[in-house]
Amino acid sequence: MTTLLIKNATLIVTMDGEDRDLKDAAIFCRDGFIEQIGVQADLPQSADRVLDLKDHIVLPGLINTHHHFYQTLTRALPGSQNANLFNWLTYLYPIWAGLTPEDIFTSTQTALAELALSGCTTASDHLYLFPNGSKLDDQIEAAAQMGMRLHASRGSMSLGQSQGGLPPDSVVDTEDKILADSERLILRYHDPKPGSKLQIVLAPCSPFSVTGELMRESALLARRYGVQLHTHLAETEDEDDFCLAKFGRKPVAYMQSLDWVGNDVWFAHSVWVNDDEMNVYAHHGCGVAHCPSSNMRLASGIAPIMTMLGKGIKLGLGVDGSASNDGSHMLNEVRQAMLLSRLNSGIKGASRSAPDAPALMTARQALSIATRGGAAVLGRKDIGSLEVGKCADFFAINLNRLDYAGALEDPLAAVVFCSPVKADYTVVGGELIVEKGELKPIDIAKQTEKHNAASRRLIQK
Ligand code: ZN
């Protein structure tokens, strides 16, 4: 048994059901779970490891619900900088066709390093192409060394250009192979227990890159084993046109026709959903991974997330792939979500200051989406808030810093409103992943060098 005591924290933001904030507070953890949380004087005064977090704010670990780690190898490429989704994809697919197992490993560690340093403790990744012998196992092995929680999505593409899909035939697989590999991965790795560090998700890539048959078969397989389902949906207006032309339905109706709605399903983006479609999500319990930076980067649109919250839809945040962000900074994404939602408040001109104007998203709401919201989207009850019995997953930021100068009346707001900073401490299951601003599992300088060499090789192929 190992114990960890966090003491003297200026503020602990619990994100529990009552949104309690604790001043001069402490957390006592045992074997990776929170055993006690509260004011300093009421808690044990010693432990195997004690961290004095005077002047720090402590928050639940951020949960990233949508990413493509491999894209860290192809960030900000000149040919992809100023394109919308379909053009961006058709430019990048041939480059991604050169990915190797080593590339998957390296890019996974780079993305998780960035995420950990930005306060993230749980990440879901959507890997949907497996060229040159690559496997999801390459990512799983890399993530295990980083100590973070991973929801590894076994993605897939089966609808190549010759069949009317968007990706070139060189990056698609046969459906038999995809389904057999999906089942193998679930049986080998999926751990549904509280405190799980690894879960498998089945994730055909998008309506325009797989067949309806693969969607249906994936849903049957996922439900046989109780694993979650994930895909991109309603990201752009082009996708509406594609689905109407090819399937005679808009994306959400198409998903309904494939039995792809339910508590076990979450969709990335959902920018282009109308009121009726959001009601379908709410009724069936579908979750959404909101990716504001990517939606701005690719000029996809603004997702109606305040409306989704109003309807009780499970909503989490995702940085999305690093070729459309081009970073993995979760705290930055929290800020982007808050700011972008304000542009979409549906009010114009002078009516913005009218007494009955719609409420603007608050810093607390944005953080709640990235913590409790993300946990609900991933189907987890053991993470997302700091409460007795939950995983000891949190991050801390020293408030004494230039970035927050003049903003300490409300430290929680400073974390979201001020420029996004890096975490000083990130703890996953009671283990320190970031300590005094330094990443523990791997050497950042060596990783960056290795990553850049892999990136150059991939781009020059
Ligand atoms: Zn994506």
129 is written with which tokens?
Answer: 């192409």
Report the predicted TM-score, pTM, of the whole model to 2 decimal places. Answer: 0.97
Tokens representing residue 8 in the block:
């003297």
**pLDDT-above-90 percentage for the chain:** 93
For ligand 1, the distance from its centroid to the CA atom of residue 153, given in whole angstroms, is 11
The pLDDT of residue 344 is 81
Distance (angstroms) between ligand 1 centre and the Cα of 127 equals 9
Paired tokens of 306? 């305040």
Q: What integer pLDDT is reported at residue 307 of this predicted model?
A: 94
443 Cα–ligand 1 center, Å: 28
| 321 Cα to the center of ligand 1, angstroms | 6
Centroid of ligand 1 to alpha carbon of 158 (angstroms): 17
The helix (run of H) or strand (run of E) holding residue 200 is strand 198-204
Distance 327 CA to ligand 1 centre (A): 13
pLDDT digits (tens, 9 = 90+) for 97-129: 999 999 999 999 999 999 999 999 999 999 999
Distance 344 CA to ligand 1 centre (A): 22
User: 98: which strand partners?
Assistant: none
What is the CA(68)–ligand 1 centre distance, in A? 6
- Assess contact for 47 and 3: CB atoms under 8 A: yes
What the block records as the tokens of 234 is: 């309603």
pLDDT (0 to 100) of residue 165: 86
pLDDT band at residue 359 using 50, 70 and 90 as cut-offs: confident
Task: Give the model confidence (pLDDT) of 198-209 as tens digits.
Answer: 999 999 999 889
Confidence tier at 256 by pLDDT (50, 70, 90) = very high
Mean pLDDT of 6-21: 96
Task: Give the DSSP H or E segment for 233.
Answer: strand 228-233
Distance 66 CA to ligand 1 centre (A): 6
Amino acid at residue number 51: L
CA of 320 to the centre of ligand 1 (A): 5
* pLDDT single digits (tens) 265-297: 999 999 999 999 999 999 999 999 999 999 999
* pLDDT reading at 358 higher than 80: no
Compute, in angstroms, the gap from residue 108 CA to the centroid of ligand 1.
Answer: 15
The tokens of 280 are what? 């379908």
Cis preceding-peptide flag for 31 (omega within 30 of 0): no
Chain segment 127-185, per-residue pLDDT in tens = 999 999 999 999 999 999 999 999 999 999 999 999 988 899 989 999 999 999 999 99
Q: How far does residue 448's CA lie from ligand 1's centre (Å)?
A: 23
The neighbourhood of ligand 1, an ion, using CB within 5 A, equals: 320
Q: Find the 203 Cα to ligand 1 centroid distance in Å.
A: 11
Check residue 48 and give its pLDDT: 98
Span from the CA of 29 to the centroid of ligand 1 (angstroms): 35
* Count of other CB atoms within 10 angstroms of residue 116: 29
pLDDT at 346 exceeding the cut of 70? no
Q: What is the pLDDT of residue 353?
A: 66
Question: What does DSSP say about strands 394-398 and 425-428: parallel, antiparallel, or unpaired?
Answer: antiparallel
Q: What is the DSSP string of 369-423?
A: IIIIIHHHHTT-SSSSS--TTSB--EEEEES-SGGGTT-TTSHHHHHHHSPP---
How much is the pLDDT for 352? 62
Instruction: Check if the beta carbon of residue 71 is closer than 8 Å to that of residue 324.
Output: yes
Q: Among all chains, which residue has been given the structure tokens 């909503």?
A: 315
- The pLDDT of residue 381 is above 60: yes
**Which residue bears the tokens 């960035």?**
114
Extract the tokens encoding 12: 């602990």
Query: Average model confidence (pLDDT) for the chain?
Result: 95
